[in-house]
Amino acid sequence: MAGPQQEVVVSEHFFNRELSLLEFNRRVLYQSYDRSLPLLERLRFLCIFSTNLDEFFEVRVGGLVQMLEVGTSAIPSDGLGHADNLAAIAQISHQLVSEQYSILNKEIIPLLRERHVYIVRRDEWTDTQVAYLRDYFATEVMPLLSPIGLDPAHPFPRILNKSLNFIVKLDGKDAFGRNSGRAIVQVPRSLPNMVELPDGVAKAGREFVFMSSIIHHFMGEIFVGMEVIDCFQFRLTRNSDIFLDEEETDDLLRAVQGELVYRQYGDEVRLEITGTCPMDIEEFLLGRCEINKRDLYRVDGPVNLNRLSDLFDLVDDSDLFFKPFVQSMPKLPKRADNYFQALKKNDLLLHHPFDSFQSVVDFLREAAMDPHVLAIKQTLYRTGSNSPVVDALVAAAKAGKEVTAIVELRARFDEEQNVALAERLQRYGIHVIYGVVGYKTHAKMLLVARREEKKLRYYVHLGTGNYHPKTTKLYTDYGLMTSDADICADVYRIFIQLSSMGKASKMSELMYAPFTLHKGMLKYIQQETENARNGIPARIIAKMNSLYEEQLVLALYEASNAGVQVDLIVRGVCQLRPGVPGQSENIQVRSVVGRFLEHSRVFYFENHGNPHVFCSSADWMIRNMFHRVETCFPVKAKKIRDQIVSDMKLYLADNTHAWLLQSDGSYVHIRPEDGQEAINAQDQLLEQWALSN
């Protein structure tokens, strides 16, 4: 089941970045249409769509609005100016939001009721429920509310970013004789989004009530002696990018802490209101919130559907969720009692979430306790201060090891956690470095220096994803653990480069941004191009989250015209326009959207039968190539290389959760043809790992 396709505005060579990202969000939304998925997992995709759209407006739309306001005249390569881009975004976003509420109201909620899970509306409450909720409101909710009557002494407040609010229509005078007719009530973020009615109060099954419904129903209790004529939900989204002039900042930690306060009050970019809101209230909010009517979203139901995510913790019916799985632990070689002994013999590949991240934690713990380990160096991008990784680093520092952590404070929307992480590490004497001014440190590296037979030997872990145990259960990523001398020496050089000053070091095996990665990728693409021109079979397979870098796209066009078979697996934004005669006839682009978030970056080059395979922390994006510190590492062991190539080919065969990008910018959902086997790459990988362990 799917809604109508929306054609994306295109140029001759490149797709627009924002519209391509909206197309990804469309694919996420359409997961909620998939009746083969458990019901609450379908609802989860609706919630993910909501949070994705929030971030899209906070970052991408906020940036466009800012550029339009300051008069930035540069036109991007897709040819779409900022004003036209914002208009196209609004058109598609309104359609997607309408579809979101349609599938919720017409299918998800009715199916939940069939499973005896009820979201009870105010007009359905019994007298017993009203009495229970009145007491709940009086004791748990009302003490936290801070209503604001609107009058000359209390002008329209600065609405907190993404907070849920009510605008209230009032009649009558308060104790001071004031009668402004309107008030604002913010729903406290400390309250739960949903409340379950207990046994004896619920009529049947599991019954839940929105916190907003409780506040709405008892709004009259707040404005004593006045009549509440009606009230309506609304929510304001703001530009949430943090701006730091790093050249003028002496203390990056304090600067980030200061900017976090202002994130909640950036420029307005979107206003959501309930569909029953009358026109006079709509006009009032548009004026006070300084929102263009194009950016007003009337919704057919509760504002901010992500509030429904509370159900995932409240409902315990296993049939409504994906079947749980047990992550595997890699088997160490015989006569290897620890990771150091194991890595002397063989490299170790971890494929998350199928493999447990516990292996990395155990390796760190071994290093922390091992008396022969002298130093540990690690990059931390999205880790959190309360993490077993951080605990292991602290244990190492307490044991007298030299521990260095490169903490990227500016990981978007994780800045606050990273500030807390940096402060915790410093308390235990760990050397904390905030990377390089002007370049985010996005590389995922861990290096352990161990003295063995009077010599130092290095062991490293390199990954495509973050050192965050929670996301390794939700994202697909690769991690390579190795003691390969050349790779380890390269990682050591990068750490020295990040913690000291000097010219870029020459690498033996790794490519790294912003110095050699972009040139390296171009070199390997051009090598395949030359092979094809010389009649040698040539192929490129590249898997990444996003593709938005013109030189790489143009190099792929040239490869296609030379006869190279190019298969791209791009989860999200894709600037490249495939299937265009004389430009990209030999290029296919697919996106896989399934149970797990596809996050690994893998690059395969045929190389005349002797393939080069790389894994990387970097997407093929301008920011990754030129404005971040990134690593791209070779997979040298043939067995591991063959396994990764097999995985990539499985994704290329997926015909259940894959979407094929068309030359007009739309995506077509690939389905098995009559008599064809259904292939779900993620499910098959789960089965393979379960059988092999």
Q: Residue positions in the annotated binding site for ATP?
A: 52, 475, 571, 599
Q: In a 3-state reduction of DSSP, which class is residue 154?
A: strand
Query: Can you tell me the distance from the alpha carbon of 592 to that of 598, in angstroms, rounded to the nearest whole number?
Result: 7
Whether omega before 353 lies within 30 degrees of 0, making that bond cis, reads yes
Strand partners, 432: 405
Of 552, 561, 563, residue with least CA distance to 525: 552
Query: Can you tell me the distance from the alpha carbon of 370 to that of 347, in angstroms, rounded to the nearest whole number?
Result: 20
The active-site residue out of 82, 351, 352, 442 is 442
Annotated binding residues: 52, 382, 412, 475, 571, 599
Query: Can you tell me the distance from the alpha carbon of 231 to that of 215, in angstroms, rounded to the nearest whole number?
Result: 10
Query: Can you tell me the distance from the alpha carbon of 63 to that of 67, in angstroms, rounded to the nearest whole number?
Result: 6
Phi, psi of 400 (to 5 degrees): 90, 10
Q: Which residues contact 496 (CB under 8 A, 6 or more apart)?
A: 505
Annotated binding residues for Mg(2+): 382, 412
DSSP-assigned states of every residue in 97-126: HHHHHHHIIIIIHHHHHHTTEEE--GGG--
Do the Cβ atoms of 670 and 687 come closer than 8 Å? no
Q: In a 3-state reduction of DSSP, which class is residue 475?
A: strand
Q: Which residues contact 205 (CB under 8 A, 6 or more apart)?
A: 116, 117, 118
What the block records as the tokens of 247 is 């050249």
E strand or H helix that includes residue 168: strand 164-171
Amino acid 565 reads Q
Do the Cβ atoms of 342 and 336 come closer than 8 Å? yes
SS (H, E, C) 293-339: HHHEEEECCCCCHHHHHHHHHHCCCHHHCCCCCCCECCCCCCCCCCH
Amino acid 205 reads G
DSSP-assigned states of every residue in 530-577: HHHHTT---EEEEEES-EE-HHHHHHHHHHHHHT-EEEEEESS-B-B-
Phi, psi of 351 (to 5 degrees): -120, 100
Q: Catalytic: 351? A: no
What the block records as the tokens of 317 is 């019916």
Query: Can you tell me the distance from the alpha carbon of 445 to that of 497, in angstroms, rounded to the nearest whole number?
Result: 13
Query: Can you tell me the distance from the alpha carbon of 311 to that of 141, in angstroms, rounded to the nearest whole number?
Result: 20
DSSP-assigned states of every residue in 593-646: -SSSEE--EEEEE-TTTS-EEEEES--EEHHHHHSEEEEEEE---HHHHHHHHH
Q: Which residues contact 675 (CB under 8 A, 6 or more apart)?
A: none
**N-to-C CA span, the chain:** 37
Give the residue numbers marked as catalytic: 442
